[in-house]
Amino acid sequence: MDDTDTAILSHLQRDARLTNRELARKVGIAPSTCLERVRSLRARGVITGYHAAVQPRLLGRSLQALVFARLRPLSRDVIQGFETYLSELPEVVSVFVVSGDDDFIVHVAVPDIEHLHAFLMDRFSARREVVSFRSSVIYQQTSTRVMTPLSR
């Protein structure tokens, strides 16, 4: 990763719809060089895909929450099975396997508090490996849109 790669990533994270010609102009390199750089970033796994950012509220998901869960017994199979189960639920936005008091943090987006309660009762408490869970409603969210390498 050099400064040119970092600049390419920065621009693509802000607007992945840039044409190669526009991207090359913004970075200050030839379009052919830019195309090869982007291909290399994809081949190395730095760029993993392109997506459209959406507004959950406009999709009928006005309430977002984080659900913290503890599982027992802890084993690779139990963790992988629960992670797979969660990733298939339409309410789930992200799943994090973490260290500390909790084993999972699950980001969910639902229409309202009644749907959150039903989700917790029907999807979490129904799982026998879940020994406890708690939720926190998200009031505001700020995400970093551009991630660049940290200086060493």
Mean pLDDT confidence for 24-50? 97
Share of the chain above pLDDT 90, in %: 87
Mean pLDDT confidence for 35-47? 97
Distance (Å, whole) CA 103 – CA 83: 11
pTM exceeds 0.95 for this model: no
60-69, 90-99, 138-147, range with the lowest pLDDT: 138-147
* Of 4, 51, 42, residue with least CA distance to 24: 4
Q: How confident is the model at residue 114 (pLDDT cuts 50, 70, 90)?
A: very high
Structural domains in the chain plus CATH codes: 3-43 (1.10.10.10), 56-138 (3.30.70.920)
pLDDT, residue 149, reads 86
pLDDT, residue 19, reads 97
What SS3 class is residue 152? coil
* Of 132, 54, 121, residue with least CA distance to 93: 54
Distance (Å, whole) CA 67 – CA 116: 10
What letter would DSSP give residue 104?
E
pLDDT, residue 152, reads 61
Structure tokens at 150: 């940290």
No. of helices (H) and no. of strands (E), the chain: 5, 4
Q: What sign has the CA pseudo-torsion 27, 31, 32, 34?
A: positive
Average pLDDT of the chain is: 95
What letter would DSSP give residue 129?
T
Mean pLDDT confidence for 81-95? 97
